[in-house]
Structure 1
Amino acid sequence: MVPAPDAVAIQRGQAEVAEVNAVLDAMHAAASRADGATYFPQFSPSARFIGTDAGEHWSLEAFRAYAEPYFARGQGWTYRPHDRTIMSVGGVFFFDEKLSNDGYGELRGSGVLARDSAGQLKIEQYVLSFTVPNDKADAVVAAIKATD
């Protein structure tokens, strides 16, 4: 029996969501193990990494230059993802995820994945952000302004 077209679309969508989850989970796991050989191939060669500091807007090459010395010393970073949302438009995948970190607490990751010429999903952009409760925003902004 051939599944109805809607069922096929749902199955394809579920498979793509699983594939996006696998790429992101592999990236986070590799970072935690300081495994650059697995971490960096999750990104496209033209990827951007946008970190929590306003100056952290890196090409993959620049981010690799920053991160590899840490990885070489066995020092990675552990962000545990949860509550991930994935959307797809025209074969491009957008996501946001909540992250837990022992030092920083709760953060947010977001970004974009797309297929490369070989059909593999790669991270095109990853944005790491601190979350700020609205009732704490004034104090956080004041602390940032005090260092400018």
Structure 2
Amino acid sequence: MIAPILALVLAAQTAPPASPPPTSDASPEAEIAAVLDTLHASAAGADGAVYFNVFTPDARYIGTDASEHWTVARFRAYAEPYFSRGRGWTYGVDARTITVADIACRCVAWFEERLHNTGYGETRGSGVLRLTDGGWKIEQYVLSFAVPNETAGPVVRVIAAYRAAAPAAAEQAAEGEADAAIDELDAGFDRAANASERQAEAAAATAPR
């Protein structure tokens, strides 16, 4: 019995070490691009489980509305009711730039991307990712509108008019007149937009030629 056991021990000692687990040959930039592609694809497919898995637990999402400065938990509370009804959002990627920080760990990166959306037209996405034990995860994502400088003035005036109408609309909603409040906000938005257009036309008409 001793000889067979000794042979097994010797064989184990002289056997080549086990191969390490396979690693990805993809560059950090390619891995990050895949994470961002997953973000957009899962949003379009209303797949909340996949969508929120690309964020770190303490990530931030900054949306287009001034109030949308959300933790992942708050963002999930907002988005899950839409996802549960099969309603997502679709942003196509037109261009993207990814930069991995030039530090020893190569574990921090940032990006900016040019997007398009059926309702909002051209938009921007930007943010920061961190390399975790589970791969690259988004620490912060910022979605913003691309407003041409020439239209910034009228856009700002429309926003100001909208905010001025908000308190009255909120009071109406509190009295159970939510539909009327929304209609009033929409009407105010239209009036402000029309006024801005008339101002621009008047300025153009009186400008020296």
TM over 0.5: yes
Structure 1 residue 50: deviation in Å? 0.2
| Counterpart check, 1:26 vs 2:41 | no
Specify which of 91, 105, 127 is matched with residue 79 of structure 1.
Answer: 91
- Counterpart of 2:138? 123
Cα distance in 2 between the residues matched to 1:128 and 1:44? 17
- Counterpart of 1:111? 127
Cα distance in 1 between the residues matched to 2:82 and 2:162? 26
Cα distance in 1 between the residues matched to 2:150 and 2:161? 19
Structure 1 residue 119: deviation in Å? 4.9
Cα distance in 2 between the residues matched to 1:109 and 1:64? 19
5+ long unaligned stretches in structure 2: 1-24, 164-209
Determine which structure has the larger strand proportion and give its number: 1
Structure 1 residue 147: deviation in Å? 1.5
Letter in 2 for 1:83: A
- Counterpart of 1:38? 50
Specify which of 35, 50, 57 is matched with residue 69 of structure 2.
Answer: 57
- Counterpart of 1:135? 150
Cα distance in 1 between the residues matched to 2:120 and 2:33? 23
Structure 1 residue ranges (4+ consecutive) displaced by more than 4 angstroms after TM superposition: none
Cα distance in 1 between the residues matched to 2:149 and 2:100? 29
Letter in 1 for 2:143: L
- Counterpart of 1:93? 109
Instruction: Tell me the TM-score normalised to structure 1 length.
Output: 0.88
Determine which structure has the larger helix proportion and give its number: 2
5+ long unaligned stretches in structure 1: 1-11
Structure 1 residue 88: deviation in Å? 1.6
Aligned residues: 135
Letter in 1 for 2:127: G
- Counterpart of 2:78? 66
Instruction: Tell me the TM-score normalised to structure 2 length.
Output: 0.63
Greater relative CO, 1 or 2 (CA 8 Å, sep 6+) = 1
Cα distance in 2 between the residues matched to 1:59 and 1:42? 14
Max radius of gyration: which structure?
2
